Structure 1
Amino acid sequence: MVLKKIYFVINFTIFFIHGLAQQQVHVKYYHVRSAIATLAEDLYIKDNNVISIQDSVINFNTAGTGSISAIKPGNKIVTKDYYISKLNGGDIKDFFFTGSFRDTDYFIHDKVTKPVWSIDETKTKKILGYNCLKATANFRGSSVTAYFTKELPYSAGPFKFFGLPGLILDVRENDKNYNMWKAEKVELTVDPKINFTPQFTNYPKTEMRQFIETKEAKQNKEMADLLSKLPPGTQMDTPEPKNRLGLEKIFEWER
Structure 2
Amino acid sequence: MFFTHGLAQQVHVKYYHVRSPIATLYEDLYVISIQDSIISFNSGGTTSAIKKSSKPVSKNYFISKITDNGKTKDFFFTGLNREMKYFIHDNVAKPVWKIDETKTNKILGYHCIKATANFRGSEVTAYFTKELPYSVGPFKFFGLPGVILDVRENNKNFNIWKAEKVELSVDPDINFTPKLDRYPKMNMKEFVEMKEALLHKEMTDIVNSMPQGTKIENGTFQKRPGLEKSFEWETMYAH
* TM-score using structure 2 length: 0.87
Whole-angstrom distance in 2 between the partners of 1:250 and 1:110 = 13
Once the two structures are TM-superposed, the CA of residue 21 in structure 1 deviates from its matched residue by 2.1
Whole-angstrom distance in 2 between the partners of 1:114 and 1:136 = 13
Once the two structures are TM-superposed, the CA of residue 233 in structure 1 deviates from its matched residue by 2.7
Once the two structures are TM-superposed, the CA of residue 236 in structure 1 deviates from its matched residue by 3.0
Task: Tell me which residue corresponds to 2:62.
Answer: 83
Q: For 2:7, what is the secondary structure of its paired residue?
A: helix
Whole-angstrom distance in 1 between the partners of 2:99 and 2:212 = 54
Q: Which amino acid aligns with 1:198?
A: P
Whole-angstrom distance in 2 between the partners of 1:102 and 1:235 = 28
Task: Tell me which residue corresponds to 2:17.
Answer: 31
Q: Which amino acid aligns with 1:111?
A: N
Task: Tell me which residue corresponds to 1:4.
Answer: none
Q: For 2:233, what is the secondary structure of its paired residue?
A: helix
Contact 1:227–1:235 (Cα < 8 Å) also in 2: no
Task: Tell me which residue corresponds to 1:214.
Answer: 194
Note if 1:158 corresponds to 2:144.
Answer: no
Task: Tell me which residue corresponds to 1:148.
Answer: 128
Contact 1:133–1:147 (Cα < 8 Å) also in 2: yes
Once the two structures are TM-superposed, the CA of residue 230 in structure 1 deviates from its matched residue by 1.9
Whole-angstrom distance in 1 between the partners of 2:5 and 2:70 = 23
Q: Deviations over 1:180-208 (max 9, x none)?
A: 01111100111112233324122111110
Aligned 1:215-234 pairs, distance under 5 A: 215-234=195-214
Task: Tell me which residue corresponds to 1:116.
Answer: 96
Note the residue ranges of structure 1 that are not aligned, 5 or more in a row.
Answer: 1-17, 45-49, 65-71
Whole-angstrom distance in 2 between the partners of 1:191 and 1:19 = 15
Aligned 1:234-253 pairs, distance under 5 A: 234-237=214-217, 238-239=219-220, 243-253=223-233
CA RMSD for the aligned pairs?
2.1
Question: Aligned residues, how many?
Answer: 225
> Which one has the bigger helix percentage?
1
Whole-angstrom distance in 1 between the partners of 2:82 and 2:216 = 22
Task: Tell me which residue corresponds to 1:3.
Answer: none
Aligned 1:1-255 pairs, distance under 5 A: 21-44=7-30, 50-63=31-44, 74-78=48-52, 80-88=59-67, 89-237=69-217, 238-239=219-220, 243-255=223-235
Note the residue ranges of structure 2 that are not aligned, 5 or more in a row.
Answer: 53-57
Q: For 1:186, what is the secondary structure of its paired residue?
A: strand
Q: Which amino acid aligns with 1:249?
A: K
Contact 1:87–1:154 (Cα < 8 Å) also in 2: no
Once the two structures are TM-superposed, the CA of residue 171 in structure 1 deviates from its matched residue by 0.5
Q: 1:19 to 1:53 in 2, by over 3 A?
A: closer
Whole-angstrom distance in 2 between the partners of 1:219 and 1:84 = 27
Q: Which amino acid aligns with 1:76?
A: I
Once the two structures are TM-superposed, the CA of residue 121 in structure 1 deviates from its matched residue by 0.6
Once the two structures are TM-superposed, the CA of residue 115 in structure 1 deviates from its matched residue by 0.3
| Rg comparison, structure with higher value | 1
Once the two structures are TM-superposed, the CA of residue 90 in structure 1 deviates from its matched residue by 2.2
Q: Which amino acid aligns with 1:55?
A: D
Contact 1:84–1:197 (Cα < 8 Å) also in 2: no
